[in-house]
Structure formats: C-alpha cells, structure tokens
Amino acid sequence: SEMLKEIGLMLEDESSILHQAARRNVPVFCPSITDGAFGFHLYLFQQEHDDFIIDVVKDFGNILFAATHDDKKGVIALGGSISKHHAILATLLNGGAEYAVYLTTAHKTSGSMSGATTNEAKSWGKVKDDSDVATVIGDVTITFPLVMISALEELNKDGLLK
C-alpha cells in the first residue's frame, strides 16, 4: 500500500482512483501485487536496489487493522480470489460485515473462493446473520457501473451528494 500511495502521488491524472486515494490518504491494498509481470519487474528492480522492500505481510496486517476502525463494515467484492479473501477475513476477525455485495462470474458450484456466496460468508461469520447481502452473477464490467449509477442516483435524490 505504501508503494501504491507513492505511485498515486506521482500521477498527474485527476481522474485516477490511485491518485485521488493517495491525495486523500486512503490506503489502496493489492494483496497479490507480486503476481504476474508486475511482480517480476518488482523482483528485477529489487536485485539492483537492496533497500527496496515490499512487505506483503505488513500490508496484510494493515488490511486487518483497517477493518477495526469502524463500527459497521461493508464489503463490495468485484470478482474473487485473494483480494476478496483478505477483505472478508478482516471482517471475520472484527465481528463480521453488516453489508456485502459480491459481483462475480463464478458460480458456487465451482468450489472456488470466487464462487463463494454471501450465504457462505454468513455461515462462517464473515458477514453477520442479519446483514444486508447480495450475490450478483454477471460480468463485473457491466454490473458494477450499473450498481454505482443506481447508488449515486439514490444518494443524489436524498441530497447526500455535493
């Protein structure tokens, strides 16, 4: 998260989520930052810069700690895998989430973490029994913008947007 903040501060694109998060001191976590080509380039960079360290265990602790700040917690999971797992584990360790929306293309029959539903999360205490939840099966690039447009329209109608 520290490296992502530094990158965000260097960006000049005002529409960048990473830039806006860095400016407002909102942490952005990427538990699988060393996965794939980007991780390989981080490794190559570290070979020539011994003082360059990305501490994924520290970031994991920061994710867990971040979930302790608020009385009510919610999760919006786009897809699944490691980022979803980290988020819901953090809520489990802190009493469970009051709200959860999972947007995914995976079905529960796949047996994967990506296909695990909000009902499964309730059974483990990751989400509270009386929480408001939804699991939406569909293409996240379509469903998430539709959800956000609807939410923003409701907030605007209620006078909660500036």
Give the start-to-end residue ranges of the domains of the chain. 1-66, 72-162
Which amino acid appears at position 112 of this protein?
A: S
Q: Which residues of 42-73 are buried (b: 16+ CB within 10 A; e: fewer)?
A: eeeeeeeeeeeebeeeebeebbbebbeeeeeb
Instruction: Convert the pLDDT of each residue in 98-134 to its tens digit.
Output: 999 999 888 777 666 666 778 888 888 889 999 889 9
Catalytic residue among 84, 122, 126, 128: 126
Prediction pTM value: 0.78
Instruction: Convert the pLDDT of each residue in 70-96 to its tens digit.
Output: 888 999 999 888 888 888 889 988 899
82-93 vs 56-66: helix crossing angle, rounded to 10: 50
What pLDDT is attached to residue 15?
Answer: 95
Asked if 126 is an active-site residue, the reply is yes
Q: Is 77 helix (H, G, I), strand (E, B) or coil?
A: strand
Please report, rounded to a whole number, the percentage of residues in the chain having pLDDT higher than 90. Answer: 57
